[in-house]
Amino acid sequence: MIFLKTEEEIELLRQSNLLVGKTLAEVAKLIKPGVTTLELDKAAEEFIRDNGAIPTFKGFPNHCGQAFPATLCTSVNEQVVHGIPNNTILKDGDVVSVDCGVFMNGFCGDSAYTFCVGDVAEEIKKLLKTTKEALYKGIENAVVGKRIGDIGYAIQNYCESNSYGVVREFVGHGIGHEMHEEPQVPNFGRRGTGTLLKKGLCIAIEPMITMGDKQVIMENDGWTVRTRDRKIAAHFEHTIAINTGKADILSSFEFIEQVLGNKDI
């Protein structure tokens, strides 16, 4: 069932999502060669709880009922999504996708950003830039009267025209009281197909794009998804509310970009 949100509910969703953006900015302050993803996770959890929210990812079950053990998903290099924070040290030239979710005032926030660690190769920066741009291409199509397929088509067309792979197995989603609500929001599709977009529909759009083949595999931990060919992947995510004009972006990259000084991508 699809739940349309009232203006009051959208404002509560905005508060949760802005906290996610601020949390990712706290993470951005720490990302450099020599830091571990576990250190990033500890800082994020502390910040979220200090702001009166709880991490929604921690304890979230997968298809086998295994609980996710951390606050953040930290996916490094060829890892696409759902990487578990650990003691692996980030190296110069790495990229790390950081996905964060919070629950506050009865509503969820969800957003992701892929960061450069130190000096990253230009071809990798181009992948990140294209993935981020594709997110906004999708958002441009998230308006009343269009359909879910229009969002996916815009993302797929833009990324594949740049010779990148578009992951099929993992998709965006509706969001509200629950982190994952209907409808699913694929990053691929045909124009004019899928769920009709109505005012008050709140969704998370999250392109997961690879430098090589689109095929992915699940690691033995039951969570981490990586590219089959071990080529680099990127992931960006915004939570938005559908409106009669352009979509209302409820999450924010502004806090992150203030920390990075727009020098990243």
Where are the extended beta strands (E) located within the chain? 54-55, 72-76, 79-81, 95-104, 107-116, 165-166, 172-174, 181-185, 202-205, 208-210, 216-218, 225-227, 233-235, 238-241, 248-249
Q: Which of helix, strand or coil describes residue 243?
A: coil
One pLDDT digit (tens) per residue for the chain, 265 residues: 999 999 999 999 999 999 999 999 999 999 999 999 999 999 999 999 999 999 999 999 988 889 999 999 999 999 999 999 999 999 999 999 999 999 999 999 999 999 999 999 999 999 999 999 999 999 999 999 999 999 999 999 999 999 999 999 999 999 999 999 999 999 999 999 999 999 999 999 999 999 999 999 999 999 999 999 999 999 999 999 999 899 999 999 999 999 999 666 6
Confidence (pLDDT) at 265:
67
Contact at 8 Å (CB) between 104 and 47? no
Confidence (pLDDT) at 65:
87
**Separation CA 254–CA 206 (nearest Å):** 17
Q: Which distant-in-sequence residues (6+ apart) come within 8 Å of 248 by Cβ?
A: 10, 240, 241, 242
Concatenated DSSP letters of 121-144:
-HHHHHHHHHHHHHHHHHHHT-ST
Contact at 8 Å (CB) between 45 and 54? no
Confidence (pLDDT) at 240:
98
Confidence (pLDDT) at 126:
98
**Separation CA 245–CA 214 (nearest Å):** 33
- CATH 3.90.230.10 for domain 7-260, yes or no, is yes
Confidence (pLDDT) at 180:
96
